[in-house]
Each structure stands twice: as structure tokens, then as C-alpha cells.
Amino acid sequence: MSRVSGNPVTCARLVTFRFVWLGLHAPTGAPPANHSPSQSLTNQEAGLYLSVFHLSREYSAVTKIYVGNLPFTATDEAVRTLFSTHGTVEKVSLISDRDTGRPRGFGFVEMSNADAARAMQALNGTDFDGRPLKVSEAQERQQSGGSNRSGPHRR
């Protein structure tokens, strides 16, 4: 049995943008007097300049939403479509059993804070392929006291 409890999860991401501008400008005057046609001009002599600008936003806050009671036939795309009616979906993760690869019936959706609040309110209890969804803000997992879940360790 998997339970999600604890503190709400709000992800902060550092987003860095890099703009590269490559341009030409007219060289001032003719090539140097000692320049022969077989020699190549340097970038500066040819009038080539390269500018790199770094722009960054400190963070883009997103909220991780827990989506429970999903039908086992649900796909990432179907969940994304359902949530995208309430705002921009950053990421969808449907959880599968690590041993069998079968869906576990729950997942997570990441959306901006304002969009997430609207989606949680609108979609909690909504019927999705015959099952009422359980939609709430994801909680951080609590660390368990060890690897022995119940019973002896299997290999």
C-alpha cells in the first residue's frame, strides 16, 4: 500500500536562457594593405561579431498534484488532456509497479500554482473512465525506518 503524506510539494526550477546573436557589420574601409587574396581575414577584420547574452529567471514555481484512483488503462496523454483544460501542464508521471510494469492507478501532474489550484478544485471527484478521481496537492514521502517492509528479504 502506498500512501502519500507529509508536507505539500512545491517545486522551484532555475530556468536559464542563452541567446546567441551572430551578425555581420560592414568593415571600416578596405582590407589591410598587406593583405593578399590568399590570406583569410580574421573575424574582426571581416566584420563578424558574436554576442552571447545570458538571461535567467530565478524560478518558475510549479505545484505537484497527486491524482489517485486512475483506471489502469489511463495514459499520460489522456491525463494531460484532462488537466490541460484547466491550464498548462508541465509534466505528467503515471506510476507503474517496478517488478511487473503494470500501472498502479495513480500518478502526478505538475502545473503552475494558479492553474494547479483550479484543476484540483474542478477535478477532485470527477468521473474518469468510470472511476471518481482523487485529486489533491502531492505530499512529500516520509522516509521509512528500513528496507524490511514486512517479512523476510527476497532475492
CATH classification at residue 79 = 3.30.70.330
Integer Cα distance of 144 and 154 in angstroms: 18
- Asked if residue 65 belongs to a domain, the reply is yes
Cell numbers representing residue 105 in the block: 492507478
Give the lowest-confidence range in 112-116, 141-145, 150-154: 150-154
Cα–Cα nearest to 119, from 64, 41, 55: 64
Q: Which helix (H) or strand (E) holds 89?
A: strand 89-96
6-29 exposure pattern, b = at least 16 Cβ within 10 A, e = fewer? eeebeeeeeeeeeeeeeeeeeeee
Which residues form the domain of 97?
60-137
Tens of pLDDT, residue by residue over 25-83, are 444 455 555 545 555 545 444 444 444 444 444 455 899 999 999 999 999 999 999 99
Predicted TM-score (pTM) above 0.75:
no
Our count of domains for the chain comes to 1
